[in-house]
Amino acid sequence: MLKNIGLARGLTNYGDAGFSLYLRRSFAKSMGYSGEMLARPVVGIADSRSGFNNCHRHFPELIDAVKRGVLAAGGLPIEFPTVSLGEVFLHPTSMMFRNLMSIDVEEMIRAQPMDAVVPVSAASCQRSEVAAASAFGVSQGASL
């Protein structure tokens, strides 16, 4: 019986769970992950940075720090992209896109094999925070 953590969560249904997990691990190993790393719980890092969003210019350093913390705690940190809402570059306003970001984050959490999620958002970009909080509130995974 496969444990339902990490890469074993939400397997694609090919009719054989062992084969599905084998494929998933094979693809992940081709990206440079070791077998030891792939046995860890997966912690997704929701990354909403964009070249059009000045609120998120510090995210590379912040995300690196989050990754180090996840690794130190025994998890496997994996970033995933989300919609980015930079107020001054969106027309007519970022408020129109807040629900889109929420749906995007929520569905990515459901679709990917994550045991927990860390939302990376900027306090100066309120639309992003509200959208991420809304998505985490309705998703089935744990969030930090």
SS (H, E, C) 98-110: HHHHHHHHHHHHH
Domains located in the chain, CATH noted:
1-38 (no CATH), 40-143 (3.40.50)
pLDDT at residue 76, rounded to an integer: 97
Residue for token pair 């995974």: 141
User: CA 122 to CA 54: how far, in whole Å?
Assistant: 10
Q: Which amino acid is at 10?
A: G
Query: DSSP class of residue 119?
Result: E
pLDDT at residue 141, rounded to an integer: 54
Average pLDDT per consecutive 10 residues, the chain (144 residues; last block may be shorter): 79 91 95 95 91 85 95 97 85 85 87 89 58 58 52
pLDDT at residue 23, rounded to an integer: 95
User: CA 27 to CA 1: how far, in whole Å?
Assistant: 21
pLDDT at residue 136, rounded to an integer: 58
Whole-prediction pTM value?
0.84
pLDDT at residue 120, rounded to an integer: 82
- At 17, list the tokens: 């769970």
pLDDT at residue 106, rounded to an integer: 87
Question: Which value, to the nearest 10 degrees, does the dihedral of the CA atoms of residues 102, 104, 110, 113 take?
Answer: -120
